[in-house]
């Protein structure tokens, strides 16, 4: 691929591929370790809540991303996560108290809050604006491939090596990411010298977001979906371990089916975006995902679960890829950090609440019923795109110029 001939992008892509693989191993091993060592659905919900809570702080992280050097932000974030991931591994290896795991997981997620917005802003600086869509598509496919490998291979590794060693491998993957970032040379524009307050700059990004009715609709739909599916991963762990009587290997295989779907959705992305509007793509993607999630518990069968998650992955792959490429294209560079941080935080701010609500419900109602409720809410969020809201994403570029501070 021509993109990978770009040395700077190749370094960024390869480093993040390894990091995502390590993160996938961690995300698979953590709920399994907690459920296996405590046998408590309540503890599963607690650690899931700890993972989701820091996402809300991204509401303000984007201002720092716009102010700071993007490459150094990524290096600092991954260096801190390296230490914390290794600490989680050591705590699990020695069987130290569960609350210590929760605290370290919480700090680990806090350390990564600025990473996503900073990477999204750095990519156009590395590849050029004309190749942004292709880079976003390749990033999504690479991420899904790494997560697929982490899920499928992680199930076998989890069975053979145990969760603590997988946590240590995640720490090693952050080291690879840091080393790759050290060799990247990106041409970042001079950071503007301004006396504008932090809050004023934050309001500048918010002004861009709220002036687009379609962005507001997208955010509300994402809020509902993320609230509904916040506890899906931990519920899936309990589903495989409980009704399916599966092993860690089967958990990896079943989770891997989702990422096979995401890869397939990414491959179909170009064809779909040429023929279908963004609005219809988002609506259909959310509706299909909702139906799939709601159907997981219809049959206590591993192959049924794999098939359902495969279809769900295809819809999510198309949905996320088309939305990500569009936003990078239409949002002005000088406010991207704030806007990406805001959109990410606004869409995930309901995740801790969803984790608390559905994590609590998981203790008292059958898992099949829990999946049905999750899926129904996701389906409704997709149907919200039938509302008569104007498609005004194309106006964001001019809006950004209007709201920028000189």
Could you tell me which of 189, 175, 168, 187 has the C-alpha nearest to residue 75? 175
**What residues contact 289, with CB distance under 8 A and at least 6 apart?**
225, 312, 315, 316, 319, 378, 382
The reported pTM is 0.73
Listed by start position, the domains of the chain span 3-183+196-403
Residue written as token pair 């570029």: 397
Q: What was the pLDDT predicted at 341?
A: 67
Q: What is the mean pLDDT of each run of 10 residues along the chain (406 residues)?
A: 80 92 92 90 88 76 79 94 96 92 94 86 80 73 84 87 94 95 79 61 71 81 89 93 91 90 79 80 92 95 96 88 67 67 70 88 93 96 89 61 43
Alpha-carbon distance of 335 to 328, in angstroms, equals 11
Query: Residue 391 in 3-state DSSP?
Result: coil
Q: What was the pLDDT predicted at 84?
A: 97
Structure tokens at 288: 């299909």
**What residues contact 22, with CB distance under 8 A and at least 6 apart?**
85, 150, 169, 170, 171, 172, 173, 174
Alpha-carbon distance of 402 to 251, in angstroms, equals 50
Q: What was the pLDDT predicted at 83?
A: 97
Q: What was the pLDDT predicted at 406?
A: 34
First vs last Cα of the chain: how many Å apart?
39
Backbone angles phi, psi at 43, to 5 degrees: -65, -35
Q: What was the pLDDT predicted at 347?
A: 67
Could you tell me which of 316, 271, 260 has the C-alpha nearest to residue 291? 316
Backbone angles phi, psi at 338, to 5 degrees: -65, -45
Q: What topology does CATH give the domain 3-183+196-403?
A: Growth Hormone; Chain: A; (1.20.1250)
């Amino acid at each position: 691929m021509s993109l990978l001939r770009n040395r700077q992008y190749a370094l960024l892509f390869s480093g993040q591929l390894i990091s995502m693989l390590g993160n996938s191993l961690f995300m698979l091993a953590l709920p399994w370790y907690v459920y296996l060592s405590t046998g408590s659905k309540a503890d599963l919900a607690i650690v899931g809540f700890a993972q989701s809570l820091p996402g809300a702080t991204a509401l303000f992280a984007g201002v720092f991303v716009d102010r700071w050097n993007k490459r150094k932000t990524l290096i600092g974030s991954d260096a801190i996560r390296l230490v914390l991931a290794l600490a989680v591994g050591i705590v699990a290896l020695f069987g130290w108290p569960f609350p210590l795991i929760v605290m370290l997981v919480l700090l680990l997620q806090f350390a990564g809050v600025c990473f996503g917005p900073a990477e999204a802003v750095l990519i156009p600086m590395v590849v050029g604006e004309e190749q942004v869509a292709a880079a976003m598509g390749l990033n999504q496919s690479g991420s899904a491939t790494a997560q697929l490998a982490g899920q499928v291979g992680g199930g076998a590794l989890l069975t053979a090596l145990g969760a603590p060693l997988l946590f240590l491998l995640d720490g090693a993957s952050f080291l690879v990411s840091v080393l790759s970032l050290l060799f990247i040379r990106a041409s970042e524009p001079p950071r503007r010298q301004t006396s504008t307050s932090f809050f004023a700059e934050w309001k500048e990004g918010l002004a861009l977001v709220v002036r687009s009715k379609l962005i507001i609709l997208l955010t509300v739909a994402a809020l509902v979906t993320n609230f509904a599916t916040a506890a899906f991963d931990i519920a899936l762990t309990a589903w495989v371990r409980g009704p399916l009587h599966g092993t860690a290997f089967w958990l990896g295989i079943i989770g891997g089916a989702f990422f096979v779907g995401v890869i397939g959705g990414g491959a179909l992305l170009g064809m779909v975006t040429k023929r279908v509007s963004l609005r219809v793509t988002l609506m259909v993607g959310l509706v299909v995902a909702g139906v799939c999630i709601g159907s997981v518990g219809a049959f206590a069968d591993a192959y049924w679960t794999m098939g359902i998650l495969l279809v769900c992955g295809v819809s999510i792959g198309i949905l996320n890829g088309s939305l990500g490429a569009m936003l990078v294209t239409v949002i002005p560079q000088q406010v991207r950090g704030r806007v990406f941080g805001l959109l990410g935080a606004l869409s995930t701010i309901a995740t801790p609440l969803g984790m608390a609500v559905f994590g609590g419900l998981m203790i008292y109602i059958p898992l099949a019923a829990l999946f049905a409720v999750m899926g129904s809410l996701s389906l409704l969020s997709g149907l919200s795109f039938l509302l008569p809201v104007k498609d005004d994403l194309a106006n964001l570029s001019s809006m950004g110029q209007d709201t920028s501070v000189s």
